[in-house]
Copies of this chain bind each other. A is one copy, B any other.
Amino acid sequence: MNSPEDLYQRPIVSVDLAIFALVPAGLEVLLACRGTDPFAGDWALPGGWIHVDKDRDLEAAARRVLADKAGITAPYLEQVGVFGDALRDPRGWSLSVTYMALISPDAFTLRHGGNVTDVAWRPISGDAVMEPLAFDHATILRAATARLRSKVEYSTLPVHLLPEAFTLGELQAVYERLLGRSLDKSAFRKRMAEADFIEPIEGEMRRASNRPAQLYRLKQARSTVFFDRTI
């Protein structure tokens, strides 16, 4: 595998990111406008090559791409899967190792870098955005959105869309917005207590219109707990 002939047999590999955030209007995904061909001027999921001389592993590559292209550091990151075939990239047989990132948009000031000329949040309607996307990124976004929505049903994943400190009311609102239905407050709180993944921040309250609400944080950063039945 070291002669140039062998190397030409190697597929192209990129790491691409579906970065999700939740705003009052609903779920949004961060798109990057491509500055170079193929698909120059088109919107795409932010992505980049693996730097074999710099990146320790795939997740490190994903974190570097995220910081370089959008200025986002240390979010919740989860591998969605790998998409690969002969035709998805005009340059040749290629594969996209896709991660999804969940962030609280308040936590970051977006900036763009590398070959990206702009970054912007776009609303997701169902499992797609209005814009046509470069490569097979519409398919990849659909898979990432489906993964996120299915995990809302049976895990604590949505908590990663909140800032570090949040109230139980805010957590319930995240589930409700993603599920598109309201949940019974006491059943929801019982489920969250059973999952045992958050803890009150001592002495920290959120002053709301009526009475102050206790603030919570994750017991373990970046972890997700699974329920034994759907919510």
Interface on A for B, CB 8 Å cutoff?
Answer: 1-2, 4, 7-13, 49-53, 55-58, 79, 81-86, 91-93, 95, 97, 154, 228-230
Closest to A80 in B: B81
Residue contact B93 to A52, C-beta cutoff 8 Å: yes
Cross-chain contact A82 with B82 (CB below 8 angstroms): yes
In the assembly, what is the distance between CA of A93 and CA of B97, in Å? Answer: 15
- With A7-B4, A13-B95 already in contact, the answer to whether A58 and B86 are too (CB < 8 A) is no
Known: A4-B4, A58-B82. 7 other contacts (CB 8 A): A1-B91, A4-B7, A7-B7, A10-B10, A13-B95, A56-B85, A79-B81
Docked CA distance A83–B82 (Å): 10
Chain B residues lying within 8 Å of A8, measured Cβ to Cβ, are: 7
- For this chain, the copies found in one complex come to 2
* CB closest chain-B residue, reference A97: B82
Q: Is A56 a contact partner of B9 (Cβ separation < 8 A)?
A: no
List residues of chain B with CB within 8 A of the CB of A53: 9
**Are A50 and B82 in touch, CB under 8 angstroms?**
no
Taking CB atoms, residues of chain B closer than 8 Å to A92 are 1, 52
Shortest distance from the beta carbon of A231 to any chain B beta carbon, whole Å: 10
Residue in contact with A12 in the complex, picked from B1, B49, B97, B154, CB distance below 8 Å: B1
Q: Quick check: A57 and B82 within 8 Å, CB to CB? A: no
A84 in complex: contacting residue of B1, B7, B57, B86, CB < 8 Å: B57
Chain B residue, CB-CB nearest to A89: B1
**Which residues of the partner chain B approach A91 to less than 8 Å between Cβ atoms?**
1-2
User: Does B228 lie within 8 Å of A56, measured CB to CB?
Assistant: no
Across-interface contacts of A93 in B (CB, < 8 A): 50, 52, 55
